[in-house]
C-alpha cells in the first residue's frame, strides 16, 4: 500500500449535541480518495482543550496527514488553534501576517477590527497559513496537521487550497455492481472472491427498493488491472 | 455534571472512502440529548479488526455507554461482532437464541438459511440481544457496548429498543437566540457572559443569509433556572 494515510478530527459541541449535522467528513473523504490519500480514521470531539490535544497527538502520530474542522472563529469556544499548538509543542500568539490579512478584510468591510476578531490571528509559530477566500480568517498547517474552518463552504474552500500542496499516492479506484439479490444470498461467493484478491478491498452495501432487497458490491484498489480482473469475475458471478 | 457519558463508534470503509454519508451519529446525538446522556466523542474506523478492537477498548473504558454502527451483516467484511468480543475478552460463536430468530425469519420469507446468514447469529457469550424489527438479525449489548446495524432505518429501530433500558441524567436543555450580527461583533460580551455561567455550555454558530452575517447563540445545561437566567441576560445583551 503506497498511499499516504490521513485522519480527520471534527471539533465542536454542536455535532455531539445533535444540533448540527457534520458534512465535512464526507467531503474530505471524497476529495482525499480522488488524490490517492487514504482516510483511515475520523474522530469527533467537543470544544474541550484536553480532548482536542489528546486527539491531535494520537492522530498526528499515526497518519501522514490530519485535517481538523471547526473552532477557529472569534468566540470564547473557538479554542482549536491554541489546542493544536499545545498538542504539537508550538508557541502561539497573534501573528503579523494573519493580523495584516484580517485588518485589511475588516477595513474593506467597514467593520471594527476588535479584540475578538484579532483572536483569529492567533497562529502557532512555524505554521504555514491556509487561505480563506470566503471570510478571510486563515487556517494553518502545523507539521502534518491542517487546521480548517467548520462552516462547510469555508471548509471546502480552504481544503481546495491545501490539497494541491499534498503528495498523494496512486488514485484509489472504485467500481461497483448493483445486484438484485440480498446480501445473504451473495455473501458466500463474494467472500471467496475477496479472499482471492487480498490486495483489493471488497464491500457490500444492502438496500431495499420497492420492498425488494438488493446489494451494491464495491471493489476498491489502486491497480487498474487488478480492479478490472476482479470486476470481470464479479460480473460473471452475479451480473 | 450528573449525566452519564457516551461515545459512538461508526464502523465501515464506505464512510471513510466517501461512498456513503453517515447519518447515524446525528440521530444518536439527538436521541441521547433527549434522555440526558451526554455524547462526548465519536470515532469512525474502517472494517479492520485491530482498529475496531482498539477503538472499542478506548471508548468503553472512558464512557458509560458505547454505541457502534455497522458491520453486523452476513458478508466477509462484517466483522464487528467478533472484534467487539475480542475487545471485551468474551468468547463468541453462533448462539442458539439468535439462530432461532434468524431461522424463523428466513423460513417466513421462504429464503434459505445458509452459512452466510448463519454468521449473523455470531453473538458474544454473556451479551443481551437487541431486537431488529426490520431485518431480524439482532444486535447485542456486551458490557457497556451496544452493537447496532449501520443501515439508518435499522440503526434507528434497534436504538429505539435500547434507549428505554438506559438510565439517563437530567435532560440536557438547550435554548438559542438568533442575532443579526456577525460572531466577531458579539464575541466579547458573549464570552464574558459564558465566564459568569461556568456550569452552562455556550456556543455561537455563524450563518450567512442573503449576504448578511448572523449568529445563532446557544446555551445548554441541565438546570432550567440557570438556563433561563442566562437566556434572560443574553436577550438583554443582544435581543
**Same structural domain, A143 and A204:** no
Instruction: Show residues of chain B in contact with A203, CB under 8 Å.
Output: 12-14, 47, 75, 77
The CATH number linked to A43 is: 3.40.980.10
**Same structural domain, A207 and A139:** no
User: What was the pLDDT predicted at A197?
Assistant: 98
* Cell, residue B74: 452476513
Measured between CB atoms, which of A28, A75, A187 is closest to B191? A75
Measured between CB atoms, which of B41, B47, B174 is closest to A44? B41
This prediction has a pTM of: 0.96
Choosing from B146, B165, B184, the residue where a domain stops is B165
**Same structural domain, A74 and A185:** no
Instruction: Show residues of chain B in contact with A184, CB under 8 Å.
Output: 74, 106, 111, 114, 116-117, 120
Measured between CB atoms, which of B15, B33, B106 is closest to A18? B33
The mean per-residue pLDDT over the stretch A9-37 comes to 96
* Cell, residue A142: 502545523
**Same structural domain, A213 and A196:** yes
- A1 pLDDT higher than 70: no
User: What was the pLDDT predicted at B139?
Assistant: 98
**Same structural domain, A157 and A79:** yes
Choosing from B145, B165, B185, the residue where a domain stops is B165
Q: What are B113-167's pLDDT values in tens digits?
A: 999 999 999 999 999 999 999 999 999 999 999 999 999 999 999 999 999 999 9
Which residues in chain B show pLDDT less than 70?
Answer: 1
User: What was the pLDDT predicted at B13?
Assistant: 95
C-alpha to C-alpha distance for A177 and B146, rounded to whole angstroms: 32
Three-state secondary structure string covering A190-219:
HHHHHHHCCCCEEEEEEEEECCEEEEEEEE
User: What total number of domains does chain B contain?
Assistant: 2
**Same structural domain, B25 and B135:** yes
Instruction: Show residues of chain A in contact with B16, CB under 8 Å.
Output: 29, 39-42
ipTM exceeding cut-off 0.85 for this assembly: yes
CB contact under 8 A, B76 and A195: yes
A91 to chain B, minimum CA–CA distance in Å? 23
**Same structural domain, B157 and B178:** no
Question: What is the b/e burial string over A72-106, where b = at least 16 CB atoms within 10 angstroms of the residue's CB?
Answer: bbbbbbbbbbbbbbbbbeeebeebeebbebbeebb
User: What was the pLDDT predicted at B78?
Assistant: 96
**Same structural domain, A122 and A188:** no
The CATH number linked to A221 is: 3.30.70
CB contact under 8 A, A13 and B45: no
How many CB atoms within 10 Å of residue B2? 9
**Residue B196 domain boundaries:** 173-238
Instruction: Show residues of chain B in contact with A115, CB under 8 Å.
Output: 188
C-alpha to C-alpha distance for A97 and A113, rounded to whole angstroms: 15
Q: What are A162-205's pLDDT values in tens digits?
A: 999 999 999 899 999 999 999 999 999 999 999 999 999 999 99
**Same structural domain, B30 and B126:** yes
Non-local CB neighbours of B232 within 8 Å, separated by 6+ positions:
none
**Same structural domain, A97 and A145:** yes
**Same structural domain, B157 and B188:** no
Q: What are A137-148's pLDDT values in tens digits?
A: 999 999 999 999
Choosing from B165, B192, B223, the residue where a domain stops is B165
**Same structural domain, B179 and B159:** no
Amino acid at each position: 500500500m503506497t498511499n499516504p494515510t490521513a485522519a480527520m478530527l471534527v471539533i465542536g459541541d454542536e455535532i455531539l449535541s445533535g444540533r448540527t449535522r457534520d458534512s465535512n467528513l464526507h467531503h474530505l473523504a471524497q476529495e482525499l480518495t480522488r488524490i490517492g490519500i487514504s482516510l483511515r480514521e475520523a474522530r469527533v470531539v467537543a470544544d474541550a482543550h484536553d480532548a482536542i490535544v489528546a486527539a491531535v497527538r494520537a492522530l498526528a502520530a499515526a497518519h501522514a496527514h490530519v485535517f481538523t474542522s471547526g473552532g477557529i472563529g472569534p468566540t470564547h469556544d473557538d479554542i482549536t488553534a491554541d489546542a493544536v499548538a499545545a498538542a504539537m509543542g508550538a508557541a502561539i500568539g497573534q501573528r503579523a501576517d494573519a493580523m495584516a490579512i484580517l485588518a485589511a478584510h475588516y477595513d474593506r468591510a467597514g467593520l471594527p477590527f476588535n479584540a475578538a476578531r484579532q483572536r483569529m490571528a492567533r497562529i502557532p509559530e512555524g505554521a504555514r497559513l491556509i487561505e480563506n477566500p470566503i471570510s478571510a480568517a486563515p487556517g494553518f498547517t502545523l507539521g502534518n496537521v491542517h487546521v480548517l474552518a467548520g462552516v462547510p463552504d469555508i471548509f471546502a474552500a480552504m481544503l481546495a487550497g491545501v490539497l494541491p500542496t499534498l503528495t498523494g499516492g496512486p488514485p484509489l479506484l472504485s467500481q461497483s455492481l448493483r445486484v438484485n439479490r440480498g446480501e445473504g444470498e451473495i455473501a458466500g461467493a463474494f467472500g471467496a472472491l475477496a479472499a482471492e484478491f487480498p490486495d483489493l478491498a471488497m464491500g457490500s452495501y444492502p438496500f431495499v427498493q420497492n420492498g425488494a432487497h438488493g446489494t451494491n458490491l464495491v471493489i476498491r484498489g489502486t491497480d487498474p488491472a487488478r480492479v478490472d480482473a476482479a470486476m470481470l469475475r464479479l460480473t460473471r458471478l452475479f451480473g
